[in-house]
Amino acid sequence: MKAAATGYFPIVIGVLILLSLVLGYWGYTASEARLAAVSADYEIRLVEATDALARAENENRDLAGSLQAERERNDNFENQINDISGTVGKLDKLSRTDAELLQKYSKIYFLNENYSPVSVVEIDEEYVYGEEEYFHEEAWPFLKDLLEDAEEDGVELKVVSGFRSFGTQAALKANYRVTYGSGANTFSADQGYSEHQLGTTIDFTTEAIGSTFSGFENTESYQWLLNNAHRYGFVLSYPDNNAYYQYEPWHWRFVGVDLARDLHRDEKSFYDLDQREIDTYLIKLFD
């Protein structure tokens, strides 16, 4: 009996081992199936997440593009506003600048007898030869700089004539006619044709030469003006061989720094230019 029990024992052990193997295999198979299912689920979620990320990136790019387009539209609008404001500002500035100040007035160009500058100021006494003289208020700072710089360079310049009204020019021309007869027309303008009525024109001299102007073209003062006057906005109105009056090296007109600089650079006279070209410099006349 004991021997029979002993004979069954190996069988039981074998059965148990076989059962363990079966159960183990079944468990492994089940785990593998669950792992495969989990892996498949993760793959699906990963694909979905990747798609969602791609959509989000596309949306971000679209939003960034829309934002950039909106910024560009705003910038363009701002530029348009600035352009309009700048144009309005220029037009306003131009409307407040006396257009007569860059007009031609010599024999054939007439200035109204009622015209006078908006405002003139008295030229500092130290720079005047003779009685008091006056100059256009807005152009005076340029003339003052010219006179001061000439003085610093050791060059003498005196103002013998500045602003002349219509009536003053008429009286002056009448006196010249008494003295010089018809010859006065070669150097003196009739009333209404003189640049001096604008208030932006100066006759220069020195103490030695005085109001006769004789020999002024041979002075260091004249040479200094030829080399430097354009830097302050002044040009020689009637150079040698001009079509209007005899050569007047003492007669200088303020036309603004830009125009004076360009005329000096191109070796041209104010009266060489067409009036339409001259007018383009009006807005910067006192800059």
In the three-class reduction of DSSP (H, G, I as helix; E, B as strand; rest coil), residue 204 is classed as strand
Q: Is 234 helix (H, G, I), strand (E, B) or coil?
A: strand
Quick one: pLDDT at residue 62? 77
The total of other beta-carbon atoms located within 10 Å of residue 161's CB is 20
- Domain limits of the chain? 1-96, 99-284
Task: Characterize the bridge pairing of strands 251-254 and 234-236.
Answer: antiparallel
CATH number of 99-284: 3.30.1380.10
Distant-in-sequence, close-in-space partners of 283: CB < 8 Å, separation ≥ 6: 90, 93, 94, 97
- SS3 percent helix, strand, coil of the chain, rounded to 5, is 60, 10, 30
CA 215 to chain CA centroid, Å, is: 42
At residue 237, the 3 state secondary structure works out as coil
Higher pLDDT, 248 or 26: 248
CA angle, 190 then 193 then 198, to 5°: 125
pLDDT at residue 81 in the model:
46
The span from the CA of 137 to the CA of 135, in Å, is: 6
User: DSSP assignment of 120-142, as one string?
Assistant: EEEPPGGGBSSS--EEETTTHHH
Percent share of the chain, pLDDT over 70:
68
Do the beta carbons of residue 252 and residue 235 sit within 8 Å? yes
pLDDT value of residue 170: 52
What pLDDT sits at residue 94?
Answer: 63
Instruction: State which amino acid sits at residue 133.
Output: E
Q: Does the pLDDT value for residue 129 go beyond 70?
A: yes
The CA distance from 94 to 50, in Å, is: 64
Reported as a single tens digit per residue, the pLDDT across 53-103 is 778 778 778 777 777 877 777 666 555 545 444 444 555 776 688 999 999
**Is 6 a residue whose pLDDT tops 60?**
no
Which residue type occupies 287? D
- Tokens representing 130 are 């003779």
3-state secondary structure of 281: coil
Note the pLDDT of residue 82. Answer: 52
Residues 236-256 as b or e (16 or more Cβ within 10 Å = b): bbbbeebebbeebbbbbbbbb
Place of tokens 């303008």: 189
Write down the pLDDT at residue 268. 96
pLDDT of residue 191 exceeding 60, the answer is no
Tens digits of residue pLDDT in 204-222: 999 999 999 999 999 999 9
pLDDT of res. 66: 74
What Cα–Cα distance (Å) separates residue 161 from each residue in 129, 168, 250, 278?
8, 11, 10, 25
Give residue 47's pLDDT.
Answer: 78
Which H helix or E strand runs over 71?
helix 2-95
Q: Cα(183)–Cα(231) distance, rounded to whole angstroms?
A: 34
Q: Count the residues in the chain.
A: 287
Q: How would residue 128 be classed by pLDDT, with cut points 50, 70 and 90?
A: very high
Q: Which one-letter amino acid corresponds to residue 93?
A: K
